[in-house]
Amino acid sequence: MFVISLIGFSIQDNLGDPLRELLGQSVSEEVRNEMREEMGLNDPFVVQYIRFLGDAVQGDLGDSYFFKRPALGVIMDKFSATFELVLGAVFIFLSLSIPAGIYCAIHRDSLVTRIIMSASIIGISVPVFLTAIGMVWLFGVELGWLPAFGRGETVEMPWGWDTGLLTWDGISHLILPSITLSSIMLPLFIRLIRAEMMETMSTDYVRFAKAKGLSTARVRYVHAFRNTLLPVVTVGGLMIGTLIAYTILTETVFQWPGMGFLFLEAVNRVDTPLIIAYIIVVGLIFVVVNTLVDFLYTLINPMVKLPGGKS
Amino acid sequence: MAMLEIKDLHVAFPKGKKSEVEALRGVNLTLEKGERLGVVGESGAGKSMLAFAILNLIAEPGRVSQGSIAFHGENLLELSERDIRSIRGNRISMIFQDPMVTLNPVLSIGTQMVETLKAHRRISDAEARKLCIAKLKEVAIPSAESRLDAYPHELSGGLRQRVVIAIALLTDPELIIADEPTTALDVTIQAEIMALILKLCRDKDVALILITHDLGVVAEVTERIMIMYAGLCVETGATQQIIQAPHHPYSAGLLKALPQFAGRGTRLYQIPGSMPPITALPPGCAYHPRCERATDMCKAQIPPLEHGCACFHPLDQTEAAS
C-alpha cells in the first residue's frame, strides 16, 4: 500500500498544472503563484508527500479540485456501481466457465467442445471495447432489448449505498456491461479449467479413485475438480486486477456511473487528488481481494497452512 | 472353474487415423482362489496394461480389442459401467506403484477410506470410521485413530503405501492386483511392505497378481510366474521351477542378470539391446533381435506358447539348470 501511494503521488507532478484547470486562462500570474503557495504546491516533493501520507492515514486523501469535496467520498459514492458491475461479471463468468470447462474436459472431442473452444479463442482475441460497442449496437440499438446507457433505477440502502439489484430496471441495465466485462475472463477461464481438469483426470489418484469403484460423479467432482480449483483460484485472484482495469473501459462505453468512469473524467480534468485517491482505493481492493483468495486457497488446499493456523 | 480366467486378451491403441498398435497381443492367464501370481517383464512389456484391463480401466484412447476376462465365469468386459464398479475396489482391488501420487492430496485419509466403503456397503459414517481404523491397525500404522484426519502429505511414502494397502483391503476383496507396489519406495521399506502384502494375502486367502520387474521379490512371494515380453507371455509356470530352470532364453537372460547369480567382482550380465517399442515390433518372435539362439524361423513366425514356453529353441533341462 505504501508503494502504491508513493507511485500514485509521484505521478501528480507530471500530469499537468491543476491550477490551469482550476482557475481558467484569465487569472494573472501573481494570483496563480499566491494560490500555489497557499496550496503547498511549491514545497519540495518529500514535504508534500509526507503531508499527504499524514492525511492519508487519517482517511483524508485530499479534496477533489473539481467536485470541491473529499476525493475519497467522491469515489466511495461511485463504489457501489462498480462493485455491482464486477459482481455481475464475476457471477456470469463463474456460472458459465466452470460448467463449460468441465464439460469440455470430459467430452474432449465432441462437437460442442470444439465450438466452445473455437469461440473462446475468438473471445480472447477480441478487444473489450469492440465487444462493448458490439453489444451496445446489437442489443441496445438494433434489437433494443436491453438498455445500454447508465445504471437505471437505483434504491437507497443504509450507509449511503445505492443498489441497482433490487429493481428490474437496475438489473436490465446491469446485464450488458457485466457480460462485456466478463467476456475478458470467460474464455480464459474456460480454457484454464479445461486444461487443469484434463490434467487432473489423468493423474494416478483419479485412476485410483476409479479403481476403488467410486461413482463417476464422485471421481469427477470430488477427486478431480477440487484439484482443478487450486490453480484456478490462484489465477482468479491475479485476474481481479485486470478486471478492475477493464471496468474503466466498460464503464466508459456504457456510461456506467462507477469509479472507472469517474477516474477517466478525473484524468481529463487533471483532478490529481481524485486520481491518486482512485489508485489507492483500487490498490486497497486488490490487496484485500488477494488476501481473501489466499484464505480461500487454504480452505481447499490442506498443504497450505496460514501461519498461526492449526497444524 | 477358475476364479479369474483371461483368454486371448488384446489391448489396442490407435495410431494415426486408421491403424492401431497392440500393447497386449493375446495374453492368457488363469488364477485360482488364493493363488499368488507374479507378472514379470521389462518396462513397456504390457504388465500394467494387463492389470488395468482386468478392472476395465484402460486409459482412453486405448481399448480391449479382443478376448475375454472371466471373473467367476462372468465376462468383466461385457459388464455395464455400474456392474463393473461394484467389482472394482470391492471384490478386486488394486495397489498402485507410487504412493506419493496415488492418494488425492486435498482429501483426508479418512475421507478417502470411508468413501471406498460407502461406495460398496450400506454403512454409517461412525461404523465406517471404526472399520477404517481397524484396517489401518492391520497394516501396522501407528496411532491409527489420528491418521484418519491426516492428509497424504503429512505421511511418509512407506506409510502412504500402507494406507493404500489398507484401502485395498477395506472391502475384503478376493483378488488384489499390486502394480509394482514397492518400486517407488525406499529400499529399506520395500521388504517391509512386501512382507506385509504377503502376510495379509496368506492370512485372508486373498489371491494376488504381483506386477514387478524384481525377480527376487517374485521368488519370495508368488507361487506362479508369468514372464511377459512385448505384449505377450513368453514363459509361465511354477515360480521355483522357472527360477531354477528357465526354458525361454529371455527368462534365462533375466535371471542371469540378477546380482546373486553373478560372481563377486564380476560384471553383471546384461541382455543385449532393448525391448522394441510396440509401434515397431520385429516380425516373428519379438525377442529374436536380442536372442543368441535365434534362427530364420524365429524371424518369420511367432512361436506359440507350448508347455509354458513360447520359443522354438528353448533351453533343455541341462542347459536350463546351469
- Each domain of chain B, given as residue ranges in start order, spans 4-91+171-260+269-321
Q: Do B107 and A223 count as a contact with CB atoms less than 8 A apart?
A: yes
ipTM score of complex = 0.86
From A108, which residue of chain B is nearest by alpha-carbon distance? B60
- What's the pLDDT at A172? 78
Residues in chain B closer than 8 A to A223 (CB atoms): 104, 107
Superfamily the domain B4-91+171-260+269-321 falls into: P-loop containing nucleotide triphosphate hydrolases (3.40.50.300)
Cα nearest neighbour of B151 on chain A = A302
| Max CA pair span of chain B | 67
Q: Confidence class of residue A309 from pLDDT cuts 50, 70 and 90?
A: very low
Tell me the mean pLDDT in the region A227-245. 82
pLDDT band at A15 (very low <50, low <70, confident <90, very high): low
- Give the CA radius of gyration of chain A: 24
DSSP 8-class letter at B260: G
Q: Give the closest-approach CA distance of A173 to chain B in angstroms.
A: 41
pLDDT at A311: 38
A215 contacts B85 by C-beta, under 8 angstroms = yes
Backbone angles phi, psi at A307, to 5 degrees: -60, 135
Q: What is the pLDDT along chain B (322 residues), one digit of tens a residue?
A: 789 999 999 999 988 888 888 889 989 999 999 999 999 988 888 888 899 999 988 887 888 988 999 999 889 988 888 899 889 989 999 999 888 889 998 899 999 999 999 999 888 999 999 999 999 998 889 888 899 999 998 998 889 999 999 999 899 999 999 998 888 888 888 888 899 999 999 998 999 999 988 888 888 899 999 999 998 999 999 999 998 888 999 998 888 888 876 677 778 888 888 888 888 888 889 898 888 888 888 888 889 888 888 989 888 766 666 5
Residue B156 to residue B164: CA distance in whole angstroms: 12
Nearest to B96 by CA among B159, B45, B165: B165
Taking only the tens place, the pLDDT of each residue in A131-164 is 778 877 777 777 767 776 677 666 666 665 666 6
Residues of A with CB under 8 A from a CB of B: 202-216, 218, 222-223, 226-227, 230, 300-303
**First vs last C-alpha separation in chain A:** 30
CA B154 to chain A, closest CA, distance in angstroms equals 9
Q: Does B153 touch chain A (CB under 8 A)?
A: yes
Residue-wise pLDDT tens digits, B179-226: 988 888 888 888 888 999 999 999 989 999 999 888 888 888 999 999
**Cα(B187)–Cα(B195) distance, rounded to whole angstroms?**
13
Helices (H), B92-152: 99-102, 109-120, 125-138, 144-147
Distance CA A224, CA A226 (A): 6
Judged by a CB distance cut-off of 8 A, whether residue B121 touches chain A is no
Contacts of residue B107, Cβ cutoff 8 Å, sequence gap at least 6 = A222, A223, A226, B151
User: Which of B201, B225, B202 has the alpha carbon at shortest distance from B213?
Assistant: B225
CB pair distance less than 8 Å for A204 and B94: no
Answer with the residue of higher pLDDT: B221 or A276: B221
Of B299, B301, B297, B294, the C-alpha closest to B248 is: B294
pLDDT of residue A275: 82
Grade residue A277 by pLDDT with cuts at 50, 70 and 90.
confident
Q: Which grid coordinates belong to A287?
A: 490487496
| Residues in chain A within 8 Å Cβ distance of B107 | 222-223, 226
Instruction: Give exposure, A144-164, as e/b (b: 16+ Cβ within 10 Å).
Output: eebbbeebeebeeeeeeebbb
Residues of B in Cβ contact (< 8 Å) with A302: 105-106, 108, 151, 153
Are the Cβ atoms of B115 and A222 closer than 8 angstroms?
yes
Cβ-based contacts of B93 with chain A (< 8 Å)? 211-212
Tell me which chain B residues have a C-beta less than 8 angstroms from the C-beta of A196.
Answer: none
CB-based contact (8 Å) between B41 and chain A?
A: no
